[in-house]
Structure 1
Amino acid sequence: MTPTEDRRKEPVLSATDVRVSFGGVAVVKNVDLELYPGEVVALLGENGAGKSSLMKVLAGVYTPDSANITVAGEPVHISSVSQARSHGIAMVHQELNLVDNLSVAENIALGREPGRGPGLAAVVDRRASASQAQDALQQVGSKVDARTLVGRLSLAQQQQVEIAKALAQDEVRVLLMDEPTSSLPEEQAQDLMTLIHKLRNAGLAVVITTHRIPEAFAVADRIVVMRDGSKVAEYDPNDGKTSKEEIVNSLIGRELTTLFPAKRTDVGAVALELQGISGGIVQDVDLVVREGEILGLGGLVGAGRTELARLVFGCDPLESGHIRVDGRECRIRGPRDAVRYGLGFIPEDRKRDGLVLGQDIEMNLSLPNLGKWSTGGVLSLRRLARRSEDAIGSFRIRTRSYRQAVGTLSGGNQQKVVLAKWMAVPRRVLILDEPTRGVDVGARQEIYTAIDEIARSGVAVLLISSDMEELIGMSDRIAVMAEGRLQGVLEKEEVSQAYIFKLASQLESVS
C-alpha cells in the first residue's frame, strides 16, 4: 500500500448530500465530498458554481437544507462557526476578516483572548496574547511583528495573518481557503503555495478554491470540479493523464478552443505619450501607446505599475513629467481632468475603487458619463436606460435587468460593468489594472474578447497584469518595470516569460 493510499484510508471529514438554497434557488445540489489528512483538494468552478457556499456549510457560516457530516468517523451537526471550530474546521475567507486598527496579536486572539485574573474581574493578558500570536505567525512562516497594526500590512502579510488566525484555534484538522491567492501577485502566490504544502505535510486536510488552474495542478492532490451547484468531475492532477484543457472543459461545460484573441496587426498613431513621469516610487518613465494597441505592463510586486497608472489618471500628484494624448499636452490634476482628456481607468480593486456595490448597473454606468448624458444639468433617464441596455448586450453582462444591484453580480460580470462604464462614451486611452483578478476562466475569455474589441476600435490600451500567461497572451508589446523605473519595452518577437522575469528582477535591461 502506498503512503497516499494509507493516508486516505480514513477521511478526516465526510459530507454527503449537501444541499443549499437561497430564496428557493438551489446553489449546492446533493454534493458529496471527502477530505483526508495530509492532502490538498482544489475545488474549482466558475463564479456561481457553488464552491464557496459548500465551504461555508462546512465552516458553519451557512445552514444547509440538508447535509450528513462526519468528522473522524463521528456524525456531527454544524450550525455555527463556533461548532465548526470545536470540530477542528477553520476557514480563511476570500474577503479578509481583519480589523485594521487593531494589532496583529489582537486580531489573532479576537474572540478568544487569554485572560489574567479571576472570573469576571479578568483582564486581557496582552503579553500572552502577543506570545501566542507570534507562535501562530511563526507556524505560517511569517516575519510580521505581532504588535504591528494590521492596517499597515501589505495584502500578502494580511493573508498570512488570516491563516495564522485560523490555525491559532485548538487542534485544526481541516483548513478551508476561499480564493487565497486571488488578490496576490504571482511571486507572493508562490509563497502561499509553499505554505500550503507545509500545512499538508503537517497532516492537515486543506481545501482551496481557485480560478488559477496551473496553481491547482501545482499544489493539489485532487481536483474537484463544480458546475451549476453540482459536483461534475474529480481528477488526479498527478496521474500524468489529466490535462488543463480537460479541466477547463469540465468547468464551463463546453470546449474552450482559444483563451486569447488573435493578435492585432493594425496599430495607428501614438495616442498616449508619457515623458519623464515621476511621483512617489515612480521615476522618470517614458512610454508610448498607439491607437489599437495593447501595451502590457509587467513587473514584480512593488515595481510601481499601479502607481504609474494612478499618476497618469490623476489619482496621485505628478511630481514631474509630461502626459500627452494625441500629441496634446494634458494638465491632469485629478481624475476629472483625465476623463476630460479621454482617459478611462479600471482599478485593481473593483469592489473598493471601481464600483458602488449597493447601486444598480444603470447608476454605476452613469457615474463617469453624467455630463454626456445630461441636458441643462438634468440627467436623461431615457438615454441612461437605453445606454444601459446597450452596454448589457455589448459586454454580455449576465443580469436580470439594469436595475440589479452590482454587488449581487458575479465577479466576472462586475468587471464587465466596469469595462462598460468606461466605454459607454468614446475614450482614447483605457488603463486596465489586473482586469481579470478573481474572475473564472469562462468570464475571463469574455473579458479578453471585450478588451480586444476595444483595442480594435482604435482605443490605446495599457494593460497591467501579474498573470504572465495573460500578459503575454493579450499584449502586442510588453513594458517591464522594477523599483519604479522602466527596465525596457519588448517587441512581439522578443517576448518570453524568462526575458520578462529577468527584466523584472533587474538581471537584464533593454536599451
Structure 2
Amino acid sequence: MDNNILEMKDIEKSFGVVKALKKVNLELSKGEVHALMGENGAGKSTLVKVLTGIHQKDSGQIIYDGNEVEYKKPKESQDAGISVVHQELNMMNHLTIAQNIFIGRESVKAKFFTDDHVINKKTKALFKMFNMEVDPKEKVGNLTVGKQQMVEIIKAVSMDAKIVIFDEPTASLTEKEIDELFKIIENLKSKGIAIVYISHRMDEIFKITDRITIMRDGEYVGSVDTKETTKDQLINMMVGRVVYEDPKQESEVDENANIVLSVKNLHSKDVKDVSFDLRKGEILGFSGLMGAGRTEVMRLIFGADPKDKGEIYINGKKTPISKPQDAVDNGIGYLSEDRKQFGIVTGMSVSDNVVQSSLKNYVKNMIIDDKRIREVSEKYVTDLKIKTSSTKQLLRNLSGGNQQKVVIAKWLEHNSDILIFDEPTRGIDVGAKSEIYSLMNELVKLGKSIIMISSELTEILRMSDRIIVMCEGRKVKELSIEEATQEKILHYATARKEGDIVGG
C-alpha cells in the first residue's frame, strides 16, 4: 500500500531455544489506529522491541517510511520518529513535569545550565495543544498515576513522532483521562501520525481502532478491519478457544456461612465510616469509579495506611492491625493493584517469590532448604499453570498474567484464608483473565474468602457473590448479585452525595 508507513515482514526472533517470534507480519498506514492484540506471551512486546531496537531480529524485513531499517538501540528509532508510551511508567519522581518530558533534550544556556524557562514554556504549549491544564513546574512524584501516564503520553508525542506505540495506555487512567487520551489519538490521527495500540480492553479497541492484528504464541494469526469483526471472533483468534464471560446468575455462598472478616466504621482522611462483612467461601466485589476509596479501604484493613478509627474482626475476634505484618500473621493476603511495586520482586526467581512471605518455614539451623523450596514452587507452577521455563526463571521474564499467578502462589503458601485482589486482571489478556477467574473460583471452593476490587463492571458481575459500591470514600450501596446490573452499579457509583441517590 502506498500509504504504508511501516511494514514488518516475516520477523523471527529467538532467545536461546525459545522461539519468541515466528514469521510475524505487521502493516501500518499513515493516520490509522492499528490495534496489536494477543494473550500475554503472544509476542507483542517482543515485536515492538525488535522494531524499536531493544532487540535485533534474527530474520525478516522492516521497511519504515520507504526504507529498509534495523535499529541497534532505542535512541535510533526514537530519532527516526518512533515513540513508545510504555505500560510501566518510567518517570523520575524528583524532577518536574517539564524536566521529565524533555530529559535528554533540554535547552541549555551558558553551555552548562539547563534553561528551565524554555522547557516549561514548551511543556505548557504541548498540553495546551491537547486542551489540558498543567503546571510544568509540578514534581512528577506529586501526580496521580493517571496524571503521570498523561505526562508519559505527551512526552512521546513531543518527539515529532511518525509512529506512536501505546502499550496498555488506559490501565491507570480515569474515565475523564481516557476521554482526553482518545481526543489526543484522534488529533494525532488527523495529523497523519500512525498509532499502534496495544490493549486488552475490547470496548476501547472497537471504539478507536481502524484495524487489528492478532498474535498467538509468537505467530501472526491475521489482520482484520475493526468494523468487520466481533468480540467473539477476536477472542477466538487470540486464544483459539471460547472464553466464558457471562455474569454470575446467583450467589454460591450460604447466607449462614461464617463471617470471616468484619469491618466496622473504618475511617481515615480518604475513607468515611465504611462497614461490611465477608463470609467464608465468598467473593465480595468492590466497585466504584477511580478515586472512590476502594484501595484505600483495603490498605487500612491490611495495615499499610494508618486509620483514624474503626475495628476489624477476624472470625469474630477483634484483631488490632497497625502494620502489614499484623495482617499477614492473621491470614490476610493482599494482591496489590501495582504488583511490580508491592507484590513481587522482578529481579528474583519464581521460587524465591513464592516463598517470600513464608521463608522462615524453610530455614533450619540457619540453613535454607533449597530442595524443598524448589519442590513447593514446582507444585504451584503445575497447579496454577504458571508458564515458565523453570522455577529459577527471573520473574521479570514472565508475562503479567503469570506474574499475578506467582503472587497468588505466594499468599497460598503463606496459608492466607482471606485474600484481597486489587484489580487482579489489570493489564492481563483475556486468556489469562479466564485462568485467574477459574483459580479464584477454585480458591473459594477450598474455603478461602476473597475481596475483589475491579474497575471492570463485566468482571464484577461475573465473579462476585455480593457487590459493595463506593463513591468518594463512602460505601454507597450493597447489592446482591441477583439484583445487580451495570446500570445500577453506575447509578450508585456516581452518587457523589447522599441526595444523589434516587430510587433503590
Q: Cα–Cα, structure 1 residues 356 and 509, in superposed 2: closer, same or farther, change >3 Å?
A: farther
How many residue pairs align between the two structures? 498
CA contact (8 A) 1:313 1:335 kept: yes
Q: Using the TM superposition, give the Cα deviation of residue 212 of structure 1 relative to its aligned residue in structure 2, in angstroms.
A: 1.6
Q: Which of these residues, 49, 55, 59, is aligned with residue 56 of structure 1?
A: 49
Residue 83 of structure 2 corresponds to: 90
Residue 350 of structure 1 corresponds to: 339
Which digits, 9 at most, give the CA deviation of each residue in 1:339-381, with x for residues without a partner? 2222111111111100122222222222222355556776554
Whether 2:234 is the aligned partner of 1:247: answer yes
TM-score after normalising by structure 2? 0.92
Whether 2:401 is the aligned partner of 1:412: answer yes
Residue 490 of structure 2 corresponds to: 501
Q: Which of these residues, 155, 158, 179, is aligned with residue 145 of structure 2?
A: 155
CA contact (8 A) 1:278 1:321 kept: yes
Which digits, 9 at most, give the CA deviation of each residue in 1:460-507, with x for residues without a partner? 211001111111111111101111111111112221111111211114
Residue 399 of structure 1 corresponds to: 388
Residue 452 of structure 2 corresponds to: 463
Q: Cα–Cα, structure 1 residues 433 and 211, in superposed 2: closer, same or farther, change >3 Å?
A: same
Q: Cα–Cα, structure 1 residues 122 and 399, in superposed 2: closer, same or farther, change >3 Å?
A: closer
Q: Which of these residues, 74, 86, 89, is aligned with residue 81 of structure 1?
A: 74
Q: Cα–Cα, structure 1 residues 426 and 96, in superposed 2: closer, same or farther, change >3 Å?
A: closer
Q: Using the TM superposition, give the Cα deviation of residue 65 of structure 1 relative to its aligned residue in structure 2, in angstroms.
A: 2.3
Q: Cα–Cα, structure 1 residues 380 and 61, in superposed 2: closer, same or farther, change >3 Å?
A: closer
What is the SS of the residue equivalent to 1:280?
A: coil
What is the SS of the residue equivalent to 1:68?
A: strand
Q: Which of these residues, 304, 307, 327, is aligned with residue 318 of structure 1?
A: 307
Q: Which of these residues, 455, 478, 494, is aligned with residue 489 of structure 1?
A: 478
What is the SS of the residue equivalent to 2:14?
A: strand
Whether 2:57 is the aligned partner of 1:69: answer no
Q: Cα–Cα, structure 1 residues 385 and 88, in superposed 2: closer, same or farther, change >3 Å?
A: closer
Q: Which of these residues, 76, 94, 105, is aligned with residue 101 of structure 1?
A: 94
Q: Cα–Cα, structure 1 residues 181 and 158, in superposed 2: closer, same or farther, change >3 Å?
A: same
1:145 partner letter: D
Q: Which of these residues, 118, 125, 129, is aligned with residue 119 of structure 2?
A: 129
CA distance in 1, matches of 2:65, 2:350: 47
Query: Bigger shift: 382-391 or 433-442?
Result: 382-391
Whether 2:35 is the aligned partner of 1:42: answer yes
CA contact (8 A) 1:142 1:160 kept: no
Q: Write out aligned runs for 1:66-465 (5 A).
A: 66-117=59-110, 121=111, 123-170=113-160, 172-185=161-174, 188-239=177-228, 242-258=229-245, 264-267=251-254, 268-373=257-362, 380-465=369-454
Whether 2:468 is the aligned partner of 1:479: answer yes
CA contact (8 A) 1:260 1:445 kept: no
Q: Using the TM superposition, give the Cα deviation of residue 243 of structure 1 relative to its aligned residue in structure 2, in angstroms.
A: 1.4
Q: Cα–Cα, structure 1 residues 348 and 136, in superposed 2: closer, same or farther, change >3 Å?
A: same
What is the SS of the residue equivalent to 2:272?
A: strand
CA distance in 2, matches of 1:214, 1:391: 34
Q: Cα–Cα, structure 1 residues 61 and 263, in superposed 2: closer, same or farther, change >3 Å?
A: farther
Please give the root-mean-square deviation of Cα atoms over the aligned residues, in Å. Answer: 2.3
Which digits, 9 at most, give the CA deviation of each residue in 1:178-208, with x for residues without a partner? 2212333555434423332232233211011
Whether 2:34 is the aligned partner of 1:16: answer no
CA contact (8 A) 2:259 2:315 kept: yes
CA contact (8 A) 2:245 2:462 kept: no
Query: Bigger shift: 137-146 or 345-354?
Result: 137-146
1:253 partner letter: G
CA distance in 2, matches of 1:334, 1:100: 26
CA contact (8 A) 2:248 2:461 kept: no
What is the SS of the residue equivalent to 2:227?
A: coil
CA contact (8 A) 2:164 2:193 kept: yes
Taking every aligned residue pair, what percent have the same amino acid on both sides? 39
CA distance in 1, matches of 2:249, 2:385: 20
Q: Which of these residues, 10, 18, 22, is aligned with residue 25 of structure 1?
A: 18
CA distance in 1, matches of 2:36, 2:494: 33
TM-score after normalising by structure 1? 0.91
CA contact (8 A) 2:249 2:482 kept: no
Query: Bigger shift: 292-301 or 372-381?
Result: 372-381
CA distance in 2, matches of 1:421, 1:134: 45
CA distance in 2, matches of 1:389, 1:74: 48
Q: Using the TM superposition, give the Cα deviation of residue 510 of structure 1 relative to its aligned residue in structure 2, in angstroms.
A: 8.3
Q: Cα–Cα, structure 1 residues 425 and 57, in superposed 2: closer, same or farther, change >3 Å?
A: closer
Q: Using the TM superposition, give the Cα deviation of residue 298 of structure 1 relative to its aligned residue in structure 2, in angstroms.
A: 0.8
Which digits, 9 at most, give the CA deviation of each residue in 1:274-322, with x for residues without a partner? 1000123111001111111111001111111111101001111122111
Which digits, 9 at most, give the CA deviation of each residue in 1:74-104, with x for residues without a partner? 4444333333234322221222222111111
CA contact (8 A) 2:250 2:482 kept: no
1:34 partner letter: E
Q: Using the TM superposition, give the Cα deviation of residue 108 of structure 1 relative to its aligned residue in structure 2, in angstroms.
A: 1.3
CA contact (8 A) 1:43 1:209 kept: yes
Q: Using the TM superposition, give the Cα deviation of residue 70 of structure 1 relative to its aligned residue in structure 2, in angstroms.
A: 3.0
CA contact (8 A) 1:261 1:448 kept: no
